[in-house]
Amino acid sequence: MVPIEMGHPDGGLNIPDSVCVRITEEIDMATNAVPMSPEFVYMQGLTEQQQMMFMAQYSLVRKDVTAAILLAFFLGSFGAHRFYMGEIGMGFLYLIFCWSLIPHLIALIECFFLPERVRQYNAMHAAAIANQIRGYAV
């Protein structure tokens, strides 16, 4: 077993510096590419008590991406994912036509678009809650 030197970026494994720099840059780009979730963006500038109020209210309205996709995939022909997202009218439309394969096919296609729709839904509600809490702090 070769001892690893902790002072050098390659740990003493004699990896060329150009490779170490490139890998470090790729890691930096990957960590910076991760979007911040809306709750952390809208909590900026709130006091600790306001942040607790925000998280308590946000946890009640927040929707989960995985749950929405699973509902669309397994129960999409009945409009379960639409009901979950609060789109009652579209949910009933899916329910009315559930005997045909059309809602099921549309729901399968929607599985690919649901993550962005859920993120937009969560961001919209996070912004509304943050603005409401900031309005109380006058």
CA angle, 88 as apex, 82 and 91 as ends, to 5°? 50
Is 52 found in the same domain as 82?
A: yes
Q: Is the pLDDT of residue 75 over 70?
A: yes
pLDDT at residue 109 tops 80: yes
Verify that 12 and 26 share a domain, yes or no: yes
70 and 123 in a single domain? The answer is yes
Per the confidence metrics, is the pTM higher than 0.85?
A: no
**Statement: residue 107 has pLDDT above 60:** yes
> Six-digit token pair at 31?
């960590």
Q: Are residues 25 and 82 in the same domain?
A: no
Backbone angles phi, psi at 8, to 5 degrees: -100, 145
Are 16 and 55 found together in one domain? no
Question: Which range of residues forms the domain containing residue 121?
Answer: 37-136
3-state DSSP percent of the chain in helix, strand and coil, to 5:
70, 0, 30
Q: What is the pLDDT of residue 37?
A: 74
The answer to whether residues 14 and 26 belong to one domain is: yes
Q: Are residues 54 and 4 in the same domain?
A: no
User: Going by C-beta distance under 8 Å and a sequence separation of 6 or more, which residues neighbour residue 54?
Assistant: 39, 42, 43, 46, 126, 129, 130, 133
Output the CA torsion sign for 6, 10, 14, 18.
Answer: negative
Q: What is the pLDDT of residue 45?
A: 87
Mean pLDDT for all residues in the chain: 84
pLDDT(95) > 50: yes
Our count of domains for the chain comes to 2
111 — pLDDT class (breaks 50, 70, 90): very high
H or E element in which residue 104 lies? helix 102-110
